Amino acid sequence: MKKVAVIGSGISGTSAAYYLNKLGYDVYLFESASYFGGHTNTIDVDFEGQRVPVDTGFLVHNDRTYPNLTDFFNELKIETHLSEMSFSVVRRIDNIIWAGTNILTVFAQAKNLFSIRFYRFLKEVLRFNKESKKYLLEYEGKPELTLDEMLIKKKYSEDFKNWYLLPMGGCIWSSPTNEMLKFPAYTFLIFCLNHGLLQIFRRPKWKTVLNGCKTYIENALSRIDNKFLNEPVLEVISEDNKLKLITEKRIEFFDYCLMCSHPPQTLEIFKNIDFLTKDLLSKFKYQKNKAVLHFDESVLPRKKIAWAAWNYLSTESKCGNDSVSVSYLINKLQPLPLEKSVIVTLNPVSKIDKN
């Protein structure tokens, strides 16, 4: 029996370990964190005598964009529930609040019913959605062209940029606006197209995992006997037609090793790496984000009608320094048995009430 090491237990590592085990390989799974799942992180919240599983990382998927994940869930007999992918924007410097759920939330502020500026903004959103496929053809094979350059070239306004495109990008990639402007335009467009974000009708139906996404992790890994938490792999070295894997607790030899870790981690671990692979892996960029699970509704739009699944808040100042946070209203994403708002805020711009 061939012996395989899988490093990292995110969706790549978990699914690889599951299918390799199914094919008859002797699988060893190594995870540096204190839990399996990577971006899938379910936390059990105790509230008024109830224990409720809340997802704080991976939350939603759809059958169209995630066919392999859907097949994986079906094989594991994982139950899902319809979710919501609504989106709101609060930009305090412009006194703007709107959400894309329906016509009432678009005009959550009554003043915008009489605002020519706001109607111009909405017209630009429709223009962008209509012309995005043309932009894709134009920018294919041009990874150096940034989102900022595209917005300037296509003559989109500051309002369109600040009230729609950058907030949407910031919510998806958890990135501040100055970094989103450097983002490759083609990558942004193809992601939005694939996820049905550039159309008003016939959008994919989003789903969430019942009882928290940890259920699929637990189910898949229940078949793996050799799995190790809190055991970061320090080094993998090619030696005598085998792969020598070193942690603080053991030295093991394997026939194969799957690096299901982030590229910077892979570069640190795998020593016998060729130049082309090293060059490729070095191009991936990451940004640290702080996530807070809480009940403080002050991070949501002050107009409750505009509350959405994703809630973007910008407190940009006139001098151009921006503070941006995204709050996920979990009640709209998961079928929680709670009336109280359960929120995950990335990079909060103000203090969260500890009570």
Q: Reduce the DSSP state of residue 344 to 3 states and report it.
A: strand
Pick the CATH number of 3-81+210-281 from 3.50.50.60, 3.40.50.2000, 3.40.309.10, 3.30.450.20: 3.50.50.60
Count Cα atoms within 13 angstroms, Cβ side, for 20.
25
Task: Output the pLDDT for position 36.
Answer: 97
Q: What are the structure tokens assigned to 113, written together?
A: 């019913």
Angle at 330 between CA 303 and CA 15, to 5 degrees: 150
Closest residue by Cα to residue 208 from 48, 13, 42, 355: 42
Kindly report the CA angle at 221 between 61 and 223, in degrees rounded to 5?
Answer: 130
| Residue 9 pLDDT | 97
Q: For the CA atoms of 207, 212, 217, 223, what is the dihedral angle to 10 degrees?
A: -110
54: exposed, middle or buried (Cβ count in 10 Å: 0-12, 13-18, 19+)? buried
> What's the burial of 138, exposed, middle or buried (CB within 10 Å: 0-12/13-18/19+)?
middle
pLDDT number for residue 99: 96
Q: What pLDDT does residue 172 have?
A: 86
pLDDT in tens, the chain (355 residues): 999 999 999 999 999 999 999 999 999 999 999 999 999 999 998 887 888 999 999 999 999 999 999 999 999 999 999 999 899 999 999 999 999 999 999 999 999 999 999 999 999 999 999 999 899 888 888 888 999 999 999 999 999 999 999 999 988 888 877 888 999 999 999 999 888 888 777 788 999 999 999 999 999 999 999 999 999 999 999 988 999 999 999 999 999 999 999 999 999 998 888 899 999 999 888 888 899 999 999 999 999 999 999 999 988 655 555 678 899 999 999 999 888 999 999 989 888 988 7
pLDDT at site 318: 53
Beta bridge partners of 293: 344
Q: Which residues partner with 51 through β-bridges?
A: 46
Q: Contact 305/106 with Cβ under 8 angstroms?
A: no
Distance of alpha carbon 17 from alpha carbon 175, whole angstroms: 31
Identify the burial level of 74 via C-beta atoms within 10 angstroms of its C-beta, where 0-12 means exposed, 13-18 middle and 19 or more buried. exposed
| pTM given for the model | 0.90
**Amino acid 353: pLDDT:** 86
Residue 317 pLDDT = 55
The tokens of 134 are what?
Answer: 């043309």
Predicted local confidence at residue 299, as pLDDT: 94
Here the tokens at position 332 are 């709209």
Tally Cβ neighbours within 10 Å of residue 220.
24
Residue 316, pLDDT score: 66
Please give the pLDDT value at position 256. Answer: 97
Written as one letter, the residue type at 325 is S
Place of tokens 């019942």: 210
Q: Given this model, what pLDDT does residue 143 score?
A: 84
